[in-house]
Structure 1
């Protein structure tokens, strides 16, 4: 092809009449040089980056990850609900043979692997809608952490060139995680395995590959076969919150000596070291966690995320959910309850789009207007139990809403 003999910048300019953003073109040219040094040939680079245009909206999401910005009781209410538990138990049954083999190969139990799958993509239903190469190229050329995202962009190109994944329809999260269990491209390159024996590592189209790769990740992160991630505990009166924290490990016997018990008052079980977590303070639920919790945490370094997977895995095993109450008088909503809330808002004339249980800006702005109308404070647009109950009991306004919510992200 003629593009092979051109300089990178000229080749880019030749594709589709050149990009509309000269600075982006220049950045892609530099990226091609870096990619070539890592084995991405010119033909592959030009083919996979043809017609790329930056999507600057991803920059707004760099500091808005829900794991760090959403109240924990809201985050867990939607991720560890009865619907996700029932779906996960169905997946445990459907893929029992695959999961048994995964546990034999990697020592990670089926419930934990399926819990990761459920939290990351709702069992393959939600991969993320953003074109992967668009997001990663934009983040490689703009904003903070450009070096990190350049590495992920080049790792994606290498996976495409090797044929592990296909470029057509390749979408993921705004930050570049993709597939059934949302691997970042560099993690995919290092850890993904061929679980179905077809000679490819395809975490997009192959569920066995995704499940085996997830178990391989946890094993390499230090998962100890046959051990629990931990469990909910009861703290003694006057427990010092400064003694808690994932890295503040002590022998389980030392915690028992301080008066920590099982949530039912029973003696602590297990050997070795563990830590105490009080994610919402000593007045909220507390957990004793082991090294296996750390392995889960490494998948996405956020306490709320790790707890979601840990607690979902327990529910998939048939264990009860959290016993202690969260320190709030306005608990979060399950996805079924969120859909009920959206239905009530639609009945009141709000243009919030589809009833999908996803609380985007449309839903939040509509909630805020109803909170103001009903005198609920703060009028913060939060989808909690109080606004749901208020709308269930209050008559709808006869007037058309005076503001039109913005579109969902």
Structure 2
């Protein structure tokens, strides 16, 4: 290669390398314009002052490392890789360290805050063990560092993410929190999704549900453990927690009962599930006061893991975090804290580990056949699991109700 050709190749390579940086610089300028033209007028309508607005965004830039971003001029893509355990192998969500750590510290917190937990249970009907398990899962009882600037996270996701409208609303709510001075100085740190404080409330949830548990006239979810406990209890009560009912029970499901009967829209009295042959593990009876109440089949790994009959309270837990495994973790750890229960009777099978894009391809194929999978998002929720079971049954196959690698080619035929 001649010197001239080599120089030309170097110039072209440098230009190609610089292009993404130039594009990002242009997007950053669009971001600043969006803050001024969209966010500031909305914030001002909610009583946010210009000084608060400018402090919030002083030095804030787009965070390109956050998930589910859709920069201007691009189209949304189903992520290939998993980012959370519930997107892959369900059993990973119940790893030994997470379960044992949340249980052990939860028992310590149960002793330390017995009075507050009892008071909150009296006023909300939510058991203390459930509040403790959520607190442990969300922030390690306030011990886990929360790394991100909430205005960077919500600004980025409000400007360019798959749920931009939702995150823009949350950004305005975060500005309202800053304006009112609810958070201690420099405490507006969040998760990668924009959740705040020890209970990891989204900003709008803080405005709606944060509660004063220590009687000082403030709802401080950053520094006050009593306020954190009261706020979680208040949230669950307002979302419909039914006092006196449990969250659910591990069960055995005979082969004569289809896993495609799963879901909150296929409930029946617990005694009707019993009549089908479903029984609590270990030979235990269902509590008599629960047997006439509605129950729902839950099989988060299909036939490849533990099964449960859950109550409406399970779906209240899902209002806190829309994951079956999250709600199951909370119920399970709560039971371990209070009752000393051990692991689930059934083990988790070696399933999962697929790319979200592979699961999304299966979902689109099922949709084309008329199944309601809850959206082709690459996540194996209950609608996807039971749709797989129904498809398997229609093919004369044993229903497992969980995505497997071989299904992708079979579904595309």
TM-score bracket, shorter-length normalisation: 0.7 to 0.9
Instruction: Tell me the equivalent position of 2:56.
Output: 48
Instruction: Tell me the equivalent position of 2:47.
Output: 39
Instruction: Tell me the equivalent position of 1:326.
Output: 348
Alignment check: 8 A CA contact 1:128 1:172 kept: yes
Residues in 2 aligned to 1:284 and 1:65: alpha-carbon distance in whole angstroms: 21
| TM-superposed deviation, 1:298 | 0.8
Alignment check: 8 A CA contact 1:202 1:209 kept: yes
Cα–Cα, structure 1 residues 226 and 161, in superposed 2: closer, same or farther, change >3 Å? same
Greater CA deviation, 304-313 or 243-252?
A: 243-252
| TM-superposed deviation, 1:263 | 0.6
Instruction: Tell me the equivalent position of 1:57.
Output: 65
Select 1:132's aligned residue among 132, 150, 168.
150
User: Does 1:151 pair with 2:169?
Assistant: yes
Instruction: Tell me the equivalent position of 2:33.
Output: 26
Instruction: Tell me the equivalent position of 2:313.
Output: 292
Aligned ranges for residues 91-240 of structure 1 at < 5 Å? Answer: 91-240=109-258
| TM-superposed deviation, 1:283 | 4.2
Alignment check: 8 A CA contact 2:86 2:93 kept: no
* DSSP 3-state at the match of 1:24: helix
Residues in 1 aligned to 2:302 and 2:286: alpha-carbon distance in whole angstroms: 21
Residues in 2 aligned to 1:61 and 1:114: alpha-carbon distance in whole angstroms: 33
Instruction: Tell me the equivalent position of 2:332.
Output: 311
**After superposition, what is the alpha-carbon deviation per residue over 1:66-99, rounded to whole angstroms, capped at 9, x for unaligned?**
1542311011115652232111100111111111
Alignment check: 8 A CA contact 1:80 1:312 kept: no
Cα–Cα, structure 1 residues 89 and 206, in superposed 2: closer, same or farther, change >3 Å? same
Greater CA deviation, 42-51 or 56-65?
A: 56-65
**After superposition, what is the alpha-carbon deviation per residue over 1:160-195, rounded to whole angstroms, capped at 9, x for unaligned?**
111111351421111101211100001111111111
Cα–Cα, structure 1 residues 60 and 314, in superposed 2: closer, same or farther, change >3 Å? same
Residues in 2 aligned to 1:203 and 1:110: alpha-carbon distance in whole angstroms: 17
Residues in 1 aligned to 2:58 and 2:220: alpha-carbon distance in whole angstroms: 23
Select 1:246's aligned residue among 264, 268, 274.
264
> Which sections of structure 1, spanning at least 5 residues, go unmatched?
1-18, 331-409
How many residues of Structure 1 are paired with residues of Structure 2 in the alignment?
A: 313
Greater CA deviation, 116-125 or 165-174?
A: 165-174
TM-score normalised according to structure 2 size: 0.72
Alignment check: 8 A CA contact 1:136 1:175 kept: yes
* DSSP 3-state at the match of 1:195: coil
| TM-superposed deviation, 1:277 | 0.6
Alignment check: 8 A CA contact 1:127 1:182 kept: no
Give the root-mean-square deviation of aligned CA atoms.
2.2
Residues in 2 aligned to 1:305 and 1:127: alpha-carbon distance in whole angstroms: 20
**After superposition, what is the alpha-carbon deviation per residue over 1:338-368, rounded to whole angstroms, capped at 9, x for unaligned?**
xxxxxxxxxxxxxxxxxxxxxxxxxxxxxxx
